[in-house]
Each structure stands twice: as structure tokens, then as C-alpha cells.
A and B are shown apart, each in its own frame.
Chain A
Amino acid sequence: MAEKITQRILQDISVPEEKQCHLCSRCGLCLSVCPTYRETLRETDSPRARLMLLRKVIEGELQISRGFVAKMYGCLNCLACNVICPVGIKPSDIALAARSMIHQARPQSLLQSLIFGNYFSHSSLMELSVLPMFLYQCLGIQGAVRAFGILERLPEQLRDMERMLPPLPERSLRHRLPEVMPARGERKYRIGFFLGCFQNIVFTNVSAATVRVLAHNGCEVVTPKDIKCCGMPHVGHGDLKTARTLARHNIDILEKLDVDAIVTDCATCGSTLKTYDSLLAEDAEYNVRARAISAKVKDISEFLGAIPLREPQHPQRARVTYHDACHLRRGQNVWSEPRQLLQLAGAELIELREADWCCGSAGMQIIMNYKGSMQILARKIQNIAATEATIVYAGCPGCQLQLGLGAKRFGLKVLIEHPIQLLDRSYQ
């Protein structure tokens, strides 16, 4: 009976490519790099098992059960398995595709669609709730509890969610940044700056620094104000429809800018913008346009690494370390550039052990999979402590939030920043 229902549901929705799951030879190499497997040492939390479970659902031997949903949402989407699979399967992408399937198969609760359907999509709405952002987070937790019914609620979790948020700036950056920031000296490039949701509201200092550093190095910086969320939270949640709507909106705006490059200082925004072409692969109207936009997108460190830079006036002699955000290292193959920026700024860079191992942030993991997320974080914090660095750098706001929480949780005296902030200080 249950199988029948699953089969009926599957008839009407788009299902991840069956062939991909079948190609898996089950060699198990992905287990060696999967942060969730290495934490629980349980096969069910491995990419190999996720492929197998999905295959069983497609073949009608397993229903879209709570357990199945939990496993598909338990993937951190850190992309490590994508890179290592010798057969070329992308289990991390397939877990996202499975979420999209789940999303289509289950009824949307009002609350859920409120969070994902509206919250990130409307920047002004998001700003409205800046003050009670913490409230939103709680709403997020409880929404998830109700919508997915896969969480036990932990008081500790609520406390950590609260601790995770740094003191919020009074005003969002969107209102403070000029529409066009002129280049200092001769204008060499015209840059479109994609201001991400988190930098706009939480880490305003980061993007303020990004725009300053760009201008300082001869860039005229245009920051479009009507840009919306890049769409990653929706892709992560399985809501491809909203993600595509957002992508089309952003493409419309970015196309008009007439710029040499589109720069972002958020790893997640960057990797999402760079894959707008595949997100809209089946959209006849937007497909080619998406490709043109994706080709222009550069992470800030990637862009700065490719142009001549001014020498810093005030080298910053700190002992620092660098954490590779998944969506920079594997999502965009950007890893040497941010390290070079830190060294250019004068820092003594201590290489972090397992620098490219996921920190456990992965978007919603603190909400969806609190315990696992904290275990993975503990491993990261241990490695950071071993470097004896005073500042940890990461090019991703999600990582920054998570590492900040880790420092508090484990009592580690260390500052968490974005590489651009050090370079910015060295110029002042």
C-alpha cells in the first residue's frame, strides 16, 4: 500500500536520474571523506547509502518515509563525495535532487512556505525582521520541528541558536552602500557587487570592506539594491521552483548593469550564481542568459587574485589560519587566492589541519541536525585550537556563524573574520 502511494506520487514529479544511482559500484571511497559518516560511523549517514536509499525509493521498495527524508536532509552538501567519486557520480547533488523530489511529494505546511517561500525571497521582508531575527530563528526551529517532525527539541539547541547570532548592526548594509561607489584614482574596472542576505543583515562589516577594497584597487562598484536571495536556501530545501524564480529575477537585474565582473564575498552566493546556468538548463528563455551571467561571477578573492593590487600601507602582523568553505574550495575551486590575500595583508598564515573539512554549518544544519552539526564543529574547533591562531578566516558567512558559535561553545579565544577584512585594515 505504502509503496503504491510512493509510486503514484513519483509519477507526477521529477525524480533524480535513476541511472546515476545505478552507476554506483558501492566501492565505499566516499565514506572516507564524508563528514557525517566520519562523525557517526554509521553507513546510513554516508553518500553510498543515500544513493542506495534513493534507488530503493525509485524502485518502489522504500517509501518516502520520515527516515528517508531525514537522511536526504542530513547531507551537508559539502561536495566532498562529488569530488572523490571515481565513477563521477555526484552524490551531494543527488541528495539535493532527492530533496526536490521530497518537496514536491509532500504537502507544504503554511509555516514552511512562510519561511522558505517568502522569507529569503523578499529582502525587505527579511530586513523587517532583523530586530527579532532571533525570533525568526526560533520560528525556524519550531517550524522545522512541526513541518518535518524529525527533530527532538533540545533546550541546548535553542541556546546555541541564540549564541550563534552576533550582535546585529542597527541598519542593513543595503541602505548604507551607495548605488555606485567610484574607483579611487583611475577607473580600471566596473564591477557589479552581489550583496548577499547575510552580509546585508549580519556581517555588514564584511561587505563594506569588500566594496572599499575594490574601490581602493581601481574598481567602480555598482551595488544593485533590488537584488534578491541567490536561491541556495531554497535549493537546499528542495524548492527548486522558488530558486528558479529568484534566479530569473537576479539575472534580469544583473544583465542591465553592464559590468566587467560580478563579485560576491559570500561563498554560497558565489557557487549558486555560478550554477544558474544548470539551475535554468531547461528554461528556454533564460538558459543562455544564465550562462552569460554565471561566467561573469567571481568570488572576491578570485577577482582580486587576478588583478594587480596596491601594496598595503599597514601590514597586519597577526598569526592567523584559514578555513576552506565547502562552497569555495570545492564549489568554486577557490583556495589559494584567499590564502594569498591574507599573506599580502601581512599575516603569518598557519595552515589548518583538515582545512577543507566541512564545519557543519551547511545552511540549516543547526536547525535540522543539531547534534551532528555540533559534533562536526567540535572536530573543526580542535584543529583550529592546534594552530594557536588569533584569527580564523573563512570566506562564507555560514561558516563564520558556525565557527563563531564553536569558539563560544568550546571557550576558544579566537576572532572569526572574512579575509577581505584583514586586507581592508591593511589599506587603512
Chain B
Amino acid sequence: MLSAEILKEFVQIVGSEHVLTSPEDLIAYSYDGTSVEYCPDAVVSPFNTEQVSRVMQVCYREGICVVPRGMASGLAGGAVPVSGGVSLCLTRMNRVLNLDTENMMVRVEAGIITADLQAQVESVGLFYPPDPSSVRHSTIGGNVACNAGGARCLKYGVTRDYVMGLTVVLSDGRILQTGTKAIKNVTSYDLKNLFVGSEGTLGIITEVLLKLIPKPEFARTAMAVYPLLENASVTVNNVLRAGVLPATIELMDNTTIETIEEYLHLGLPTNVAAILIIEVDGSDEETVTKQIETIGQVCRASGASDVRLAKTETERADLWRGRRSVLPSLVRRGPDQLSEDISLPRAAIPEAIRRIKAISEKYGLTIAVFGHAGDGNLHPSILYDKRDPEQVRRMEQASRDIFNIAIELGGTLSGEHGIGVLKLPFLRLALSPIEIELMQAIKHVFDPKGILNPGKKFPYHIKN
């Protein structure tokens, strides 16, 4: 509970309309894209960096927990105020501050919806490539805080690859500007990259300077069907070795395909082991067309039983519809699902999927596997019923086993969704004692009082 005096201070900073404490408001800010739920004590929505700084000064002085929040599309419980305190909502800070076409960079406030940012830069022929499926319902601040990826990562990289500079409000309210428009920069430590992927535990990101590229004009898409999982996996490497770098290579296993078909009847081939959806893009139509044809040949040579090239924009949209329907179809089949986000060396994918299938059998739970085969990031999704404690127990064991597989095969716990609260208990599987010790020290420098998004990302213990 926050005292009336403190609430009054917040009101003085951001205005009464932007300090929310009604039960309805607290419920609305108690969740994100997971099933974790905890109410904040208050919701505060600042309008600019200076207001964020003043709010942080109050919280630092009083030792109040602060949970930064974008649009709460996160899949790790990161924006859920598990220890109460202030939910610091950045969505009102949604301006484009400077679009520099000459340097091809844009400076925006953290709360802008990523798709809105993309539309604005595309209107001047530029392109911001990172494309988490949640572009329309997540903020750039959230993307930076989670180092969001997406289908296009294989060719274009992740959010981090575009962050040139940040404005960050530190836990005590100081305002840090880090990074510049200079593309090369080795002047001492790279502070900005510490904040990328920090999930709100090191500071509040209020402004972001992003690198842009010219917009590729043409894209072609193909779907390849495989009777054997190995062949799908081998294809990925064969495509890359053939000298083509697709924007995306997405994989869906048989369970995923069956689930989509069961609910949507899109006419996807069932009774197959896997499907790959491959897309190439570029600024020259002829090259792009040639590339997709090469890919078609490579797929067949690598064991695809069927390859469909989308001829029109509608056919292309249809191919993507299947991929985009994965999560909702799983939700319908559920009733509950836990979607993991393990990241592996590319070559380990077939072995990982084989082992995940074995886990599925062992625990008697359906596990659908899909994800970004091109960059080794898989989303094994465990279906269960949370009303059945016995199933929940098996789900938890299966989840731990999946993490173990990832580690054994040289991979890691999360590729893009983040650690949040959900993966926190497994952190020690992936990090060495030295890493933990260093991270502990880093966290202490940035957040000595432990008020920034406690209980997330890293098991921080306040030093006495």
C-alpha cells in the first residue's frame, strides 16, 4: 500500500488522470501475455523523461518497487508486479522525436507501438526490420528491454542490432544518455548494450535511437513439406550454403500442423513430419525470384516431398496465415499452454526435437514444436490443464527437462521472450557461478536498493 502523501506526489508529477488506484485499474495492470497475475499498488503513466526521473526519485527515496510496462504482451511475466509497488506505464510516451533520413536513424520515445514506428519510417522509404509477431501490440521500449526477435532475424538480426543509443532513467532518478549516431564506437564499455534485454531491472528506458535500412521492395515465399524431420533441418544449412540468405526460415512440426488443421482447416498437409516456410526479400525482383527458385530446388534435393511457391500476394499471405495461427490454435486446444523459447545451435535442432518428443511421451503431455529454424530458436509448447494439479506437476517436470535438453545441446533457456518470473527458477542451469557473481555486481551498481522490477530476470540479493 502506498500512502496518500506519496500518491499525492505522483499526482503532482504526472497529473491526477495518470495515477490510477481503482480496483478495476489495478486488475487491468496485473497481467501480461502469460497467466501470472499480481496487482500493483498504483499505476503511474508519465509523459516524458523528466517525469519518469521525478517518479523514480520518489520511489528511490521511499524504497518503492517499480515495474516498467509497455503493452504487456510479454511472455515471461516480466511486466507483472509480483511484489506490488508502482506499475510504470510508458505508453503515453509515444512520439517520434527525430527522423534523420540522411543518417538513416530515428529517435523515438520508448512507449511507441513498434508497428507505428515502422509505418512512420516506411513512409519515407526506410525500414526497421525486427518483427516480433507482436509488433502491433508491443512497444519499442518493451522490445529493447526483451531484445525482441522475430521471423526476420535470420537475415536482419534482433532488436539489439538496431539500437544505437538510449536514454535511461536510473533507479535513483538520474538521467543517462548513452550511445551516439556514430556507427562505430569503442569508447570504453558499451553501456547501452547492458540495457538491451535487461527486462526493466537496470533502468527505465525512455528514449531509443535506432538504425534503419532501405526498405526491401520484393519478397517471395515458399512452403516445403517433409516426411522426415532431419531433412527439414538439413535443408536450413543447405539453403545457407547455396549462397542464399533468406529473411526467414520457420519450422512447424507435425503436432503443430495437426493442431492448426484441427481448428482452422487451412488445408495444410497432415501426416508429414514438418513444414518449413521460407521467405526471401530484396530490392531486385529478378534476384528475389531466382533465389526462391534456388531454394525450391535445394528443398527438394534435401528431401522435401512437396514445395509450393506463392505466386501472388494473397498466396503469400495464406502461407503466413498458418504460421501466425499457431499460438491461437494451441490456446484453443489447450486448455492451458506453456510456450518455451529455447535457443540452440542450428545443427542441434533435429536432436532437440527428437528429445522433446520423447519427453512428450514420457509425461503423457502434448508438446507442439515450432519456431525460427533459421536461427535455432524453438518454441516447444506444452499443452495441459491447470485445474488438474497432477498435470501441472508433469508440465513442470517436462518444462525442466526441456531446459536441460537446451543446455546439454549447447543452447540456452530463452532466445527472445526473456526470463521474467517464469524462467527464473532455472537460471542456475544456464549460468556459471562466475557469471552470476558478475551479474550480481552489475545489478548492484545500477539498482542498489533492489527496487527495479524485483523478482525478475536475475535472482538478486541486496548486499547489506
Contacts and interface: CB of A to CB of B under 8 A. Distances in A.
Interface of A: 22-23, 25-32, 41-44, 46, 49, 52-53, 56, 62, 65, 67-68, 71, 86-88
B331 interface: yes
Nearest to A27: B33
A28 B327 CA distance: 13
A71 B24 contact: yes
B27 A32 contact: no
A56 B32 contact: no
B325 interface: yes
B45 interface: yes
A46 B136 CA distance: 14
B53 interface: no
8 contacts: A27-B328, A32-B113, A42-B25, A42-B89, A52-B31, A65-B23, A86-B325, A86-B327
Contacts of A32: 113, 115, 136-137
Nearest to A23: B331
B2 interface: no
A28 B137 contact: yes
Given A28-B72, A28-B134, A67 B28 contact: no
B261 to A, nearest CB: 16
A62 B28 CA distance: 12
B55 interface: no
A417 to B, nearest CB: 31
Nearest to A41: B91
B350 to A, nearest CB: 29
Contact of B136 (A29, A52, A71): A29
B171 interface: no
Interface string B319-341: 00000110110011001000000
Contacts of B111: 41
Contact of A52 (B20, B28, B324, B327): B28
A17 to B, nearest CB: 14
Contacts of A22: 335
A43 B328 contact: no
A26 B91 contact: no
A370 to B, nearest CB: 15
A44 B20 CA distance: 10
Interface string B114-135: 0100000000000000000010
B155 interface: no
Interface residues of B, number: 35
B137 to A, nearest CB: 4
Contacts of A62: 23-24, 27
A27 B134 contact: yes
- Rank and list the top 4 A-B pairs by shortest CB-CB distance, nearest first: A86-B328, A49-B28, A32-B136, A44-B28
Contact of B32 (A26, A41, A65, A88): A26
Contact of A53 (B20, B28, B73): B28
A71 B20 CA distance: 14
A67 B23 contact: yes
Interface in B282-336: 324-325, 327-328, 331-332, 335
Contacts of A41: 45, 91-92, 94, 111
B94 A67 contact: no
Contacts of A88: 328, 332
A226 B254 CA distance: 60
B24 A68 contact: yes
A148 B35 CA distance: 33
A32 B324 CA distance: 16
A28 B136 CA distance: 9
B73 to A, nearest CB: 4
Interface in B74-122: 89, 91-92, 94, 111, 113, 115
Contact of A27 (B20, B27, B113, B137): B137
B378 to A, nearest CB: 19
Contacts of B136: 29, 32
Nearest to B135: A32
B266 to A, nearest CB: 13
Contacts of B12: none
B71 interface: yes
A43 B29 CA distance: 7
Nearest to A85: B328
Nearest to B18: A42
A88 B332 CA distance: 9
